[in-house]
Amino acid sequence: MSDRGSLLRAGAVASVLLFAACRMEQRPMPTVTDRPFGKLPDGTEARLFTLDNGRGMRATITNYGGIVTSLVVPDRAGQGADVVLGYDSLAGYLRTTPYFGALVGRYGNRIGKARFSLDGRSYTLAANDHGNSLHGGSKGFDKLLWEAAPFHDTAQAGVRLHLVSPDGDEGYPGRLDVTVTYALTDASELRITYAATTDKPTVLNLTHHGYFNLAGPAAGDILGHELLLAADRFTPVDSTLIPTGELRSVAGTPMDFRTPVAIGARIGEDDLQLRFGKGFDHNWVVNGPAGTLRLAARVREPRSGRVMEVRTTEPGIQFYTGNFLDGTIVGKGGTVYRHRAGFCLETQHFPDTPNHPDFPTAVLRPGQEFHSATVYRFSAP
Ligand code: GLA
């Protein structure tokens, strides 16, 4: 090979490397910024964090209730739209909210008759839902101001939220130390990890209560979304949505989402469970071993092409179709949230587990560390 040839080749290699280096430098990195979001009645200030994954996804998250107030996701044409329900300002969340985008605790979902016993002692909770206790009681984690620490690296931008719930808070025993981390990754995921410790035996069920509409804001109801639930069984409920204790096969019932089905296809069927839930408002038993991150759900919105996959380490997932939305809430940008304007996929322990010794335990004891993870991954193939 001539000297000139190898020189030319070396030159070409050098320019390719330089081009790649420039591209790498130009590649937008995940970022996080922070601004005031308004004041709580006691004068303390809530913050709003904007997470940007550098690849077209953006989330805003406030440390009031750990609420994801917006989540912008590209459609198949690369056009971003906000796919979660909520309010434009803190005032909306303070006035009234059906848990839009919030972190729910100490016990997400219901505890029957608002009581349970643990190690021979009985505990009474706020009966805030037809005699049962719902979503942590009157002032659950969705209504608390969390300490917040933003972070970012080359692959993700996030915010770490922390709070201490004192012994006896909302009737629950033990001083609970909780950390929830939200991260928006360069793999188009919203990752939520939960960690907790206690100084007395207690029960715990932490979840995220996002209402999704993958078609974007003001898109109408979610009945056209196609849903897959990786679950062979669900927990049937009584008329107040407390599980009977049975793990029932979904086969031959409107609860069968083992292959994708439009949410609206069977929601109107004359079925006792659907009547109790006024639609879908049930917990499915996620297939595969709890404690490992595995597929729980996949939702596809045909018009936009957006797909959301939910993976979790939790044993169950509550699928709720916004049955209580009735057009009285005016949300972001003046959008009226009508019946079934959003759906929730809340990864969780089964409802009323503290009163069902057969369900995977929700007990946390001193010396143990609770860990759980849920990943919402978006694409538009
Ligand atoms: C959960 C419950 C529903 C309803 C909503 C909030 O998803 O399962 O029954 O309470 O929260 O309105």
Query: Amino acid letter at 267?
Result: I
319 CA to centre of ligand 1 in angstroms = 9
State if residue 134 touches ligand 1 by the CB under 6 angstroms criterion: yes
Residue 25 lies in a domain: no
**Which 3 state secondary structure label does DSSP give 90?**
helix
The phi and psi torsions of 276 (rounded to 5 degrees) equal -60, -40
Nearest protein CA to atom 6 of ligand 1, as residue: 98
Give the Å distance between the CA of 194 and the centre of ligand 1. Answer: 21
Report yes or no on 205 lying in a domain. yes
Distances (CA, A) of 262 to 117, 199, 223, 257, 297: 40, 45, 6, 9, 13
CB-ligand 1 contact for 324 (6 Å cutoff): yes
Give long-range contacts, CB 8 A cutoff, 24+ apart: 143-148. 143/64, 143/65, 144/64, 144/65, 145/40, 145/44, 145/46, 145/63, 145/64, 146/63, 146/64, 146/65, 146/66, 146/103, 146/180, 147/63, 148/47, 148/49, 148/63
pTM of the entire predicted model: 0.93
Instruction: Report yes or no: 114 and 127 within 8 Å, Cβ to Cβ.
Output: yes
Nearest to 59 by CA among 187, 148, 190: 190
Distance CA 22, CA 13 (A): 14
* Percentage with pLDDT > 90 across the chain: 92
Query: Over its length of 381 residues, how does the chain's per-residue pLDDT go in tens digits?
Result: 445 556 556 656 655 554 555 455 567 899 999 999 999 999 999 999 999 999 999 999 999 999 999 999 999 999 999 999 999 999 999 999 999 999 999 999 999 999 999 999 999 999 999 999 999 999 999 999 999 999 999 999 999 999 999 999 999 999 999 999 999 999 999 999 999 999 999 999 999 999 999 999 988 999 999 999 999 999 999 999 999 999 999 999 999 999 999 999 999 999 999 999 999 999 999 999 999 999 999 999 999 999 999 999 999 999 999 999 999 999 999 999 999 999 999 999 999 999 999 999 999 999 999 999 999 999 999
Residue 105: per-residue pLDDT: 98
Three-state secondary structure of 338-358: CCCCCEEEEEECCCCHHHCCC
Query: Over the stretch 140-195, which tens digit does the pLDDT of each residue have?
Result: 999 999 999 999 999 999 999 999 999 999 999 999 999 999 999 999 999 999 99
For ligand 1, whether the C-beta of 281 sits within 6 Å is yes
- Minimal CA–CA distance to 130: which of 111, 103, 108? 111
- pLDDT for the residue 22: 44
pLDDT at 27: 73
Residue 8 belongs to a domain? no
The CATH number of whichever domain residue 43 belongs to comes to 2.70.98.10
Cβ neighbours of 22 (radius 10 Å): 10
Which atom from ligand 1 is nearest to the alpha carbon of 351?
8
Amino acid of residue 168: G
Q: pLDDT for 283-314, tens place per residue? A: 999 999 999 999 999 999 999 999 999 999 99
**Atom 12 (ligand 1): residue with closest C-alpha?**
98
DSSP code at position 102:
E
**Token pair listed for 265:** 């296809």
Q: Residue 12: what pLDDT?
A: 61
Give backbone dihedrals phi and psi of 281, rounded to 5 degrees, phi first: -160, 60
318 CB near ligand 1 (under 6 Å): yes
Question: What is the pLDDT, as a whole number, of residue 24?
Answer: 55
Tell me if 6 is assigned to some domain: no
320 in contact with ligand 1, CB cutoff 6 A: yes
Q: Choose which residue among 324, 328, 347 to substitute to test ligand 1 binding: the one with the highest number of ligand atoms within 8 A of its C-beta.
A: 324
Contact 60 CB / ligand 1 (< 6 Å): no
What is the b/e burial string over 140-177, where b = at least 16 CB atoms within 10 angstroms of the residue's CB?
bbbbbbbebebebeeebbbbbbebebeeebbbbbbbbe
Active site residues: 209, 346
In a domain, 24, yes or no: no
Cα–Cα distance, 103 to 131 (Å, whole number): 23
241 in a structural domain:
yes
Q: Report the domain count for the chain.
A: 1
Tell me how far the alpha carbon of residue 25 lies from the centroid of ligand 1, in angstroms: 45
Domain assignment present for residue 5? The answer is: no
In a domain, 255, yes or no: yes
pLDDT of residue 5: 59
Domain holding 275, by residue range, is 31-379
